[in-house]
Amino acid sequence: MKFPNKDTPKTGKAIEVANDILWMRLPLPMALDHVNVYAIREKTEECDGWTLIDTGFDTKKSRSIWEELLKGPLLDLPIKRVIVTHHHPDHVGLAGWFQSKYASEIWASRTTWLFARMMTLDRNEKPSKETLNFYKSAGMDKEILEQRSKSAPFNFSDVVAPIPLGFRRLQQDETIRIGKRSWKIHMGNGHSPEHSTLWSIDDDIVIAGDQILPSISPNLGVYATEPEADPVGEWLESCERLLLEANNDQLVLPGHKLPFYGLPNRLTQLIENHHEALERLSNFLITPKTAAQCFEPLYRRKINSSEYGLALVESVGHLNHLLKEKKVIREKTIEGIWLWKKI
């Protein structure tokens, strides 16, 4: 991979990564401490404005940064629309705010919009029984499980603004016009269902969201909402399909980390890395293990407390894929914990 930009955008500032495309960053309060957002100029004889790609969390700080961006590099021009690549809160967080305050249109896949709106309306004061049972079945550490059972859960609406009714659906193989370019839509899955990626027809630019990342792998987790899901299989299928569209001249604009060149090699590397992880995991299951006991073969490093939750749900994701491929079996103990074993 090659990284054309050594510097990253400073708070409230933008870097032009291609003609009429600005790269900006919003902070995140976690180990992955930023999300990339992009603005594409929409200048015609009738009007002048911007299309935004993703928005960051809905926090006072993020709103303040956006107001600074709007008055600065975005030239106080209207935000005509916001394209949401997928429903995760660091990407959809302020979409509803833009729609309500600036009359921006929201464009997203149907699944993205429905998931985001549903989850903003689903607020819990304590963890659901289903969530705690799911964590227990994965073999979550007893102390961590006890702590989570007594703590207020993360609610989507804590960092996602209310989403009004009304959106424009993006679909696979659709071509849309943004500014001077036509873009073909390719949907990915695994990290998030019906994740939109945009591929410029007029030049070599790909807006990848979190479907394809340069130096980290997208999280492929399973949750209590769909405990039998196979995000690993869905993501591998997406990578193999997108590889057919990739070439080395494409500038990839990801949802995190740095813009990069070398998309065919990166997709191949991601596919191979996950197949290797699945092979290590399968060989590790000569004796029965819980999902929480599978961190060593999957990650090959120590998982700290801040990473534990994401590591656990991704472990379940890989185990579910092996189960679907009929490479492992599982059996539930009388305590309600799944034990996984290689066939």
Q: How confident is the model at residue 46 (pLDDT cuts 50, 70, 90)?
A: confident
So what's the pLDDT on residue 306?
A: 87
Q: How confident is the model at residue 44 (pLDDT cuts 50, 70, 90)?
A: confident
For the sheet containing 181-188, what is the strand order? Answer: 175-178, 181-188, 195-200, 205-209, 251-254
**Cβ contact 131:312 at 8 Å:** no
Query: Across residues 195-223, what is the average pLDDT?
Result: 97
Query: Across residues 143-157, what is the average pLDDT?
Result: 94
Instruction: Please state, in angstroms and rounded to a whole number, the distance separating the CA atoms of residues 198 and 200.
Output: 7
Quickly list DSSP for 171-225. Answer: -TT-EEEETTEEEEEEEE-SSSTTEEEEEESSSSEEEEETTS-SSSPPP----TT
Checking if the pLDDT of 253 tops 90, the result is yes
Checking if the pLDDT of 45 tops 90, the result is no
Checking if the pLDDT of 139 tops 90, the result is yes
- Under CATH, to which class is 15-342 assigned? alpha beta
Chain-centroid distance, C-alpha 285: 29
Tokens of 137: 């079945």
Query: Across residues 226-233, what is the average pLDDT?
Result: 98
So what's the pLDDT on residue 186?
A: 98
Q: Please state the domain extents for the chain.
A: 15-342
So what's the pLDDT on residue 47?
A: 85
Work out the mean pLDDT of the chain and round it to a whole number: 97
Q: How confident is the model at residue 331 (pLDDT cuts 50, 70, 90)?
A: very high
Instruction: Please state, in angstroms and rounded to a whole number, the distance separating the CA atoms of residues 105 and 178.
Output: 13
What letter represents residue 298's amino acid? L
Tens digit of each residue's pLDDT (9 = 90 or more) over 298-323: 999 999 988 999 999 999 999 999 99
pTM: 0.96
So what's the pLDDT on residue 264?
A: 98
Query: Across residues 29-33, what is the average pLDDT?
Result: 91
Tens digit of each residue's pLDDT (9 = 90 or more) over 171-180: 999 999 999 9
Query: Across residues 95-105, what is the average pLDDT?
Result: 98
Which residues make beta-bridge pairs with 65? none
Checking if the pLDDT of 213 tops 90, the result is yes
So what's the pLDDT on residue 48?
A: 94
Checking if the pLDDT of 211 tops 90, the result is yes
So what's the pLDDT on residue 197?
A: 98
Instruction: Please state, in angstroms and rounded to a whole number, the distance separating the CA atoms of residues 212 and 235.
Output: 10
Instruction: Please state, in angstroms and rounded to a whole number, the distance separating the CA atoms of residues 264 and 266.
Output: 6
Q: How confident is the model at residue 31 (pLDDT cuts 50, 70, 90)?
A: confident
Angle at CA of residue 173, ends 47 and 87, nearest 5°: 75
